[in-house]
């Protein structure tokens, strides 16, 4: 007997409510059930929606590979049934996931897929490109993309959608705008923006547990850095969400409190231990939170020794050593060589134009393509082990102040 589409749609609605309430395992299990049933009964449109929902559940459970695979399958199925608008949403989900796990190479490729900014998918893509710009350290461009996304969402009338997703996305991008302001050093604006976004979120119906926790988390971090008082409803309650992501937030909250009360160098060092692994955590908000805490609490960093002979790069961190060969990657080798050269002189950094010219000499490249090529190269070097060694400057890159060169 053919299973009714209405029944499966109702199950998907149940999965969505479970996710909004923070019951991520339950939401994932329901979406998985719908995927199996829709596939069995040859209902590709429902299967596409179910895979999209399962992608969100997998992400919340920390399964990046499953989340990306489901987003890709959902896009393929949406296109097969002629639903191009939903296919665009699946593309934006994949873009979001790529940035979130730090895969800027894939994210850059996805950001270049042309989507209509007047549609829901195009508006959301604009916001997620803001995430990509923020990951690159380009605060101004990130802020412009978030503002543009919020405006585009309003123009697309997404806020009037029945499930309120448009308003939810707009609130999330306002939160991202506040986080970016904090990273750029404008903490008062960041705190105001985050609190307004949280007020907007709480005016919605449906729970939205994860986003509410994230907003409250960043409000607390920013307020502690500013030494501003917290409001009664902004206190951290670790018992109301036991997801893996909230456990990470709990560790960051403890570090934030300890750092705020630290009086000696030794106390700051002890508090900083909770942050040691966060840059490698495959979750963007863990990395951003740790970045905020390090920057504004003047956390001491361990010296890293770097030795580069033009082909072989050797890093020494305490008792740990890492050796990597760049002999077969001449462009990467030239970028490292130029950064090392400037670090030996004044460590003012190298602007992007000079890095591009040095990395790809005698090549004629369009400016936008050249910048993307440099971004990908820097992302590759960071992924190879230089994540906390190469830092963004106003107009380029430099080696971090914790790096010491072996002469």
All structural domains of the chain with their residue ranges: 304-405
Residue 33 buriedness (CB in 10 A; 0-12 / 13-18 / 19+)? middle
Per-residue pLDDT at 159 exceeds 80: no
Per residue in 122-154, pLDDT (tens digit) is: 889 999 999 999 988 889 999 999 999 999 888
Reported confidence tier of residue 212, pLDDT bands at 50, 70, 90: confident
pTM above 0.75, yes or no: no
Residue 312: CB partners within 8 Å, gap ≥ 6? 323, 324, 325, 326, 327
Reported confidence tier of residue 172, pLDDT bands at 50, 70, 90: very high
Counting residues of the chain whose pLDDT is more than 70, the rounded percentage is 77
95-104, 291-300, 366-375: lowest mean pLDDT where?
291-300
Class of CATH domain 304-405: mainly alpha
Per-residue pLDDT at 76 exceeds 90: yes
Say how far apart CA 23 and CA 215 lie, in whole Å.
18
Per-residue pLDDT at 374 exceeds 80: yes
Say how far apart CA 398 and CA 407 lie, in whole Å.
18
């Amino acid at each position: 007997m053919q299973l009714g589409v209405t029944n499966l749609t109702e199950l998907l609605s149940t999965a969505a409510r479970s996710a909004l309430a923070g019951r991520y395992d339950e939401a994932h299990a329901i979406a998985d059930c719908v995927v199996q049933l829709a596939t069995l009964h040859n209902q590709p449109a429902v299967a596409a929606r179910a895979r999209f929902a399962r992608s969100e559940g997998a992400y919340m459970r920390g399964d990046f590979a499953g989340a990306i695979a489901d987003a890709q399958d959902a896009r393929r199925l949406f296109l097969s049934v002629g639903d191009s608008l939903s296919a665009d949403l699946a593309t934006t989900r994949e873009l979001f996931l790529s940035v979130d796990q730090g895969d800027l190479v894939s994210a850059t490729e996805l950001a270049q897929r042309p989507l209509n900014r007047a549609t829901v998918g195009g508006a959301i893509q604009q916001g997620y490109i803001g995430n990509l710009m923020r990951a690159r350290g380009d605060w101004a461009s990130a802020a412009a993309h978030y503002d543009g996304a919020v405006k585009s969402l309003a123009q697309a009338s997404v806020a009037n959608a029945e499930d309120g997703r448009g308003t939810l996305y707009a609130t999330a991008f306002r939160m991202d705008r506040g986080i970016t302001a904090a990273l750029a050093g404008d903490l008062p604006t960041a705190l105001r923006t985050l609190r307004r976004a949280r007020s907007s979120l709480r005016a919605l119906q449906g729970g939205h547990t994860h986003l509410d926790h994230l907003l409250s988390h960043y409000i607390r971090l920013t307020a502690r850095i500013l030494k501003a008082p917290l409001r009664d409803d902004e206190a951290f309650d670790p018992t109301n969400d036991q997801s893996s992501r909230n456990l990470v937030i709990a560790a960051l909250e403890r570090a934030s409190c300890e750092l705020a009360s630290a009086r000696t160098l030794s106390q700051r060092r002890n508090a900083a231990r909770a942050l040691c692994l966060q840059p490698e955590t495959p979750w963007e908000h863990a990395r951003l939170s740790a970045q905020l805490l390090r920057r504004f609490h003047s956390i001491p960093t361990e010296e890293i020794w770097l030795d580069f002979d033009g082909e072989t790069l050797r890093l020494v961190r305490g008792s740990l050593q890492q050796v990597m060969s760049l002999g077969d990657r001449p462009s990467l080798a030239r970028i490292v060589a130029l950064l090392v050269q400037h670090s030996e002189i004044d460590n003012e950094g190298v602007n992007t134009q000079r890095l591009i010219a040095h990395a790809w000499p005698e090549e004629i490249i369009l400016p936008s393509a050249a910048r993307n090529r440099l971004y990908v190269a820097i992302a590759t070097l960071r992924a190879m082990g230089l994540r906390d060694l190469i830092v963004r400057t106003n107009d380029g890159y430099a080696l971090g102040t914790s790096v010491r060169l072996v002469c």
